[in-house]
Chains A and B, each alone.
Chain A
Amino acid sequence: MVVICPKCKVKLKVDEARLSAEGSRFKCPKCATVLVVKKPAAHEKKELDKQRVLVAHSKKEVAGLVESLLSAQGYKVVTATDGIEVMVKALKELPFLCITEVALPKIYGFEVCKRLKGRIETKDMKFILIPSIHDRTKYRREPVSLYGADEYVEEQDLRLQLIDMIDHLKGAARKEEPEKPRPAKQPETVETPAEKEPAPTVGQVTSNDKVEKAKRLARTIINDIYLYNTAKVDDAVRNDNFFSVFASEVKEGLKLYEHRIPLEVRNKEDYYRGAIEDFLAARKKTLV
């Protein structure tokens, strides 16, 4: 866990195993202040409300439509019009599902999804994205990434698909539950020197950043291959021969990936191949 020295504000990494329940004393290596750090109390994880749904859309008519569809099914609906409001309401109301516009003002819907899925209180929350689709078909593309969301539904399909989609998500959530490991207890220090929420150390942030960058570069490469060869990629997906048809592009992409991504990150996992396979799986699902 990480605590912040109240005097010099330096972040200190503390081995939680060495902390006693009544608190351990140690000196800040930078300013020599004596700190008392107690073993953090675990975050209480509250259950998500299975009858509550958060609907976020900047257009009143869309939010209204979704609300009426959900109310008819007996759901309690909470609404929000921008990303900040969603973050606040999601954490306060703990709905089991959040239906959000992708291009939400202030914080994008997909960013909200990423942030909430990354928090212990809301990590099991389901997300359905509503993308903004341009009516000219030439600009319409299937989403290549849902940014961690569970489903996406276009505005014109809300009436037909939304309720089935929610039933499906609820079913999937029930199936997952028995297998799901209990969330790890998050440390929280009681004394002032500690941060309320343990922040990762600088080292961890950098390493996570590097992994995120590797993933992003890998996704951009495969998205670009698709963007420039849409029909050919779809054919290859249908015929299960993407890696042979696009061997040279994949190789070229790999060259850049290896040039840009440090070895220590590449050794963790093959994010490049992973991104391509995720993409192909998503395309396949769409094409079928």
Chain B
Amino acid sequence: MSFINYSSREINCKIVYYGPGLCGKTTNLQFVYKRTNPDQKGKLISLATETERTLFFDFLPLALGDIKGFKVRFHLYTVPGQVFYAASRKLILKGVDGVVFVADSQIERMEANIESLDDLRINLAEQGYDLDKLPYTVQYNKRDLPSAAPLDNMNKLLNPRNIPYFEAVAVTGPGVFETLKNVAKQVLGELKKHY
């Protein structure tokens, strides 16, 4: 649910990068952050829990286009991937406008991908969202690894609706901006319907 700031004339949208542990969510965000004009971006914030495990979220606003005189600012978040931080993931999904599911292409992580996608659906549903109705993009990351699973198999398992998907290598960048642009376009489309 986007938030409108009338004083700065901005619509704030939240995009969450979701996926299993070590699939490359943070790497995606770091790449976007690195390649974004310094005037357009805020600080990249990383939050760790008291146990200093991998729980953190990154925050990155990107100014992109206008809607009826209001600027659109995207806030990009990642969730902690480790399976048992479900509560934190649920919290971060609050008020989400678009989701990028980052899947790890390695065969041995396929089960973790399926589990994470299930977890995404459950966490969204618990907050009254339906993944099938949200702006949503799938990214198959780590495509540079020879152990990467074939695309049609990944699609069969993780993308039965055949929504837009992108192959990516988040460490070096291919596919990262394509994924973000796609989800941002969908979010803008939704905004235009409402404003």
Contact = CB atoms under 8 A, between A and B. Distances in A.
A266 to B, nearest CB: 16
A141 B112 CA distance: 15
A271 to B, nearest CB: 14
A252 B107 contact: no
Interface residues of A, number: 35
A252 B114 contact: no
B112 A223 contact: yes
A221 B84 contact: yes
Given A227-B22, A253-B84, A108 B107 contact: yes
A220 B112 contact: yes
A24 B18 CA distance: 55
A250 to B, nearest CB: 10
B156 to A, nearest CB: 9
Count chain B CB atoms within 10 A of each CB in A132, A144, A220 and give the residue with the most.
Answer: A220
Nearest to A143: B108
B159 interface: no
Contacts, number: 77
A132 B54 contact: no
Nearest to B112: A220
A103 B107 contact: yes
A224 B149 contact: no
A134 B83 contact: no
Contact of B54 (A108, A139, A228, A253): A228
Interface in A189-241: 213, 216-217, 219-221, 223-224, 227-228
B92 interface: no
Interface string B76-92: 00000111101000000
Contacts of A252: 84
A249 B108 CA distance: 21
Interface stretch (A5-13, A27-35, A254-262): A254-262
B146 interface: yes
Contact of A139 (B106, B110, B115, B153): B106
B83 A217 contact: yes
Contacts of A216: 111, 114-115
Given A220-B115, A228-B21, A260-B122, A132 B84 contact: no
Contacts of A141: 108
A135 to B, nearest CB: 8
Contacts of A107: 153
Interface in A103-133: 103, 105-108, 110, 131-133
Contacts of B22: 227-228
Contacts of B86: 256, 259-260
Contacts of A249: 84
A219 B113 CA distance: 12
B150 A105 contact: yes
B133 interface: no
B108 A256 contact: no
Contact of A108 (B81, B118, B153): B153
A103 B150 contact: yes
B83 A220 contact: yes
Nearest to A217: B115
Given A224-B83, A228-B53, A228-B54, A134 B149 contact: no
B127 interface: no
A224 B112 contact: yes
B149 A103 contact: yes
B145 interface: yes
B146 A132 contact: yes
Interface string B27-62: 000000000000000000000000101100000000
B84 A134 contact: no
Closest 8 CB pairs of A and B: A220-B115, A132-B147, A252-B84, A256-B84, A224-B83, A253-B84, A220-B83, A224-B82
Given A103-B147, A220-B83, 14 more contacts: A103-B107, A105-B153, A107-B153, A108-B149, A110-B107, A131-B108, A131-B147, A139-B145, A143-B108, A145-B111, A220-B111, A224-B112, A253-B83, A260-B86
